[in-house]
Amino acid sequence: MNLSESKRLYEQARQLIPGGVNSPVRSGKAVGLEPLFIKKGKGCRITDEDGNVYIDYVGSWGPLILGHCNPEVIAAVTEVLARGTSYGIPTRIEIEMARKVVEMVPSIEMVRMVNSGTEAAMSAIRLARGYTGRKKIIKFNGCYHGHADSLLVKSGSGLMTFGIPGTPGVPEEIVKHTIALPYNDLEAVRRTMEEVGSEVAAIIVEPVAANMGVVLPAEGFLAGLRQTCTENGALLIFDEVITGFRLAPGGAQEYFGITPDLTCLGKIIGGGLPVGAYGGKKDIMEHVAPEGNVYQAGTLSGNPLAMSAGLAMLNILGRGGIYEELEKKNGYLCAGLAQAAAAAGVAVTLNRIGSLGCGFFTPGPVTDLESAAKADSAAYGVFFREMVKRGVYLAPAQFEAFFVGAAHEKEDLDLTIQAAFEALKAVKEK
């Protein structure tokens, strides 16, 4: 494997871009490998600037559930591109996209398009505060809701990867109304609501925490959040930027049968192009300007290229059969990875749901931030580098998910499992 061109590009990037990357986890620092620079992708494979080919389990961090360069998605974008890239004026496809989201997501009666998951989460929080007239919000340790100031309290993703507890640049006054509680600890939520429930505007949660690896909700946790929000007049916000359209056509809320008041979306609804959205009950969403007085705006919101890619993606996902197929594929892959870990004598806890998964290098179980943090990141770094050598690209951080997609075939899964047998032996030896 030759990485000379990626190395040269990285050296150039470091002179022009902080850390040489436009998002921290891409740097590869957490796994001891300089970043690959990708030239192209097709199906479940990516090719770097040196011509090395990898089976990809990042999929642009989730949105490419159908794989790279899906023909229907590319055709939809190409058709719209020929007419223009952006107008800043309403287009027909925004209505079509909104209708599709409302049809598919159980809790959403109205939806507002934005440009990122971060923007969706911060807008949903602002709406919740404006709607309830309250200031406090509850979030959970290890759940990442983007980099908006008030949500960077004990978050997951890159903050966890790099050991950053919050971030400089966020004054205490901004986060004083944010309460961070342990994920899956319903009693802590109930105690907190007993004390300050009348001041809480919303509880925001990843229904499946996918930014500290993958951590599933304990039985009754989501239902308990729904109940306590209802009892205390607070809104329940599901951050489904990762789980939306990934676990089921209607996301985690369909999968678990729990209906939030507001939902944050992203990733898949842009088909790989920058996008986000938040939506919910009509009486709540009508408080957003210009209908209401909670202001939120975006010049490129509802961009026709992103809408065309996302709509093509959702139309395919709505045909049926894909989610059952993804569940089988991920089950097969994780069973093989578990066998590889056992054969090598390496303690690995595999958490998975639908097409999401994470292998924690710890005996486990992993149920919250505290138990996730016990994972051996150095061992994961060895595993990552050994897998890259064997043509498999995983998330370059222990505390991120891997994504199985429709483009992964059994042959790809078998190659991945075989690579894992060899890579885990190397982990054991080191």
Residue 110 backbone dihedrals phi, psi, to 5 degrees: -140, 150
Contacts of 374 (CB under 8 A, 6+ apart): 362, 366
**Three state DSSP letters for 349-384:** EEEEECCEEEEECCCCCCCCHHHHCCCCHHHHHHHH
185 included as an active-site residue: no
- Considering the candidates 10, 57, 131, 144, report the single residue annotated as catalytic: 144
Report CA-CA distances (Å) from 21 to 18, 64, 174: 6, 21, 28
Report CA-CA distances (Å) from 6 to 117, 231, 386: 29, 55, 18
Radius of gyration for the chain, computed over Cα atoms and rounded to the nearest angstrom: 21
- Considering the candidates 131, 267, 323, 380, report the single residue annotated as catalytic: 267
Residue 366: exposure state from Cβ atoms within 10 A (0-12, 13-18, ≥19)? buried
Q: Quote the CA–CA distance of 21 and 27 in Å, as a whole number.
A: 6
- Considering the candidates 48, 239, 261, 412, report the single residue annotated as catalytic: 239
* DSSP secondary structure of 58-127: -TTTTT-TT-BT-HHHHHHHHHHHTT-S--SS--HHHHHHHHHHHHH-TT-SEEEEESSHHHHHHHHHHH
Residue 304: exposure state from Cβ atoms within 10 A (0-12, 13-18, ≥19)? buried
- β-pair type (402-403, 349-353): unpaired
Q: Which residues pair with 27 in a beta bridge?
A: none
239 included as an active-site residue: yes
Q: Quote the CA–CA distance of 268 and 258 in Å, as a whole number.
A: 21
267 included as an active-site residue: yes
**H-helix or E-strand containing 251?**
helix 251-256
Q: Which residues are catalytic?
A: 144, 239, 267
